[in-house]
Structure 1
């Protein structure tokens, strides 16, 4: 039986600790953005494109305040909606250039004005947590999950529910 010194055992233990285990964990792509001073995200599969916020916007008379106007995207006319009233966030007094997320879900497609695009990331599905019951009542119908991103709590919104409420005239 060979004897191994303590130093050799410690070296073997350090090598084992440094091994990277490649686990194929399912991931989810998130488009993370700021809106009304809070952090939100949509699942990437529903966001088709991110446009600069300075796209030429055309006002449409008679539209509800949640519809900022329409834009021309390569010949297609897309509405641009604000989520502030739906999520019970203060409506900005001046137009924030930010970004426009082109979303598609629930048979609807529209631009969604956000204050700032923070990141597009792939995160392990296990990092998504169920929303707490203490979530503000105005957010409960729309928040599908919470995730920690750079030390900030990010509410992952269910774009299908958001768009369904806009289609029903609640936005």
Structure 2
């Protein structure tokens, strides 16, 4: 009964959903017309939406896409100018009226936007890969697209990728070599993450520690991979844990999110033998509660080398 007290509705209904803040950016095209970009970010990353602060101060060494620093609720945070990052010409009648204050990857940042519209509930299964032209325009930093009313496309932005491009992602404890010398054991580890940046960082940490890493981009691909692995194991007369000793999964992935994937794996008679660690940019209590409800073995916040290697050595099945 205790789990029911904090069970999120999206898991209670098995809807495989997320909530996003729908916000808009406006671009003046060469012919003088105005294009409306419909964009979105996971509500779980958002602390609040506020009006643009009156005082934003530049600091030496900041990338041009960072407007400056602002004090918001007694905390000084960087403010990213999304229009500058998108390299769009802003119409004179439009301005950066709002700041979406986000918290993820142990950081709090603000993002200047033209308009904040509403909160939408979206099914992960309805999120598709972006058209190549849109993905190229936004530097490959679109997690997925979903069709909304009037045939418009809402684009979910990869803010982790954007911060990495701006040099604002921190990988903690990467030089802690004395305590975390190369592991004595080598494990086969599956990573699920739709972000190439995240996969690259995690792969580098794990391979440096001596492990064999496999990658997929979504929960759907993860289940397909495990099905294939189970067939191989059966043909060879070995247990699936001889093939794979640990799964590390993100939460936010198109098609099937990491929580739904974890729930399905833990309910499977064969796959459930493999430990699963939820590795996410989200560290709030609600997210931790969700990972517990789907019976994940551990929750890990990106990107801490020391924590990641500690989790691997604690939870990977010893063969």
Give the shorter-chain TM-score range: 0.7 to 0.9
Contact kept, 8 Å, 1:33 with 1:118, in 2: the verdict is: yes
Q: Hey, what's the Cα distance between the residues in 2 that align with 1:43 and 1:83?
A: 16
Q: How much does 1:150 deviate?
A: 2.5
- Larger RCO of the pair (alpha carbons < 8 Å, separation 6+): 1
Choose between structure 1 and 2: higher helix proportion.
2
Contact kept, 8 Å, 1:106 with 1:164, in 2: the verdict is: no
For 2:55, the equivalent position in structure 1 comes to 57
Deviations 1:44-93 (A, max 9, x none): 2222211122x222322534432222221121011211122322322566
Alpha carbons of structure 1 residues 104 and 166: separation in structure 2 relative to 1, 3 Å: farther
Secondary structure of residue in 2 paired with 1:135: helix
1:100 aligned onto 2:99 = yes
Choose between structure 1 and 2: higher strand proportion.
1
Which of the pair has more CA radius of gyration? 1
1:29 to 6, 13, 19: 19
Deviations 1:9-28 (A, max 9, x none): xxxxxxxxxxxxxx631111
For 1:128, the equivalent position in structure 2 comes to 127
Give the superposed CA RMSD. 2.4
Contact kept, 8 Å, 1:46 with 1:159, in 2: the verdict is: no
Contact kept, 8 Å, 1:108 with 1:163, in 2: the verdict is: no
TM-score, normalization: structure 2?
0.41
For 2:109, the equivalent position in structure 1 comes to 110
For 1:158, the equivalent position in structure 2 comes to 158
- How many residues get paired? 146
For 1:3, the equivalent position in structure 2 comes to none
Q: Choose 122-131 or 83-92, whichever is displaced more.
A: 83-92
Gaps of at least 5 residues in structure 1 are 1-22
Secondary structure of residue in 1 paired with 2:166: helix
Secondary structure of residue in 1 paired with 2:79: strand
Contact kept, 8 Å, 1:28 with 1:123, in 2: the verdict is: yes
Secondary structure of residue in 2 paired with 1:29: strand
Alpha carbons of structure 1 residues 168 and 79: separation in structure 2 relative to 1, 3 Å: closer
Secondary structure of residue in 2 paired with 1:167: coil
For 2:41, the equivalent position in structure 1 comes to 42
Contact kept, 8 Å, 1:27 with 1:123, in 2: the verdict is: yes
Gaps of at least 5 residues in structure 2 are 1-12, 27-35, 170-319
Q: Hey, what's the Cα distance between the residues in 2 that align with 1:134 and 1:58?
A: 34
Deviations 1:98-118 (A, max 9, x none): 210012234432100000001
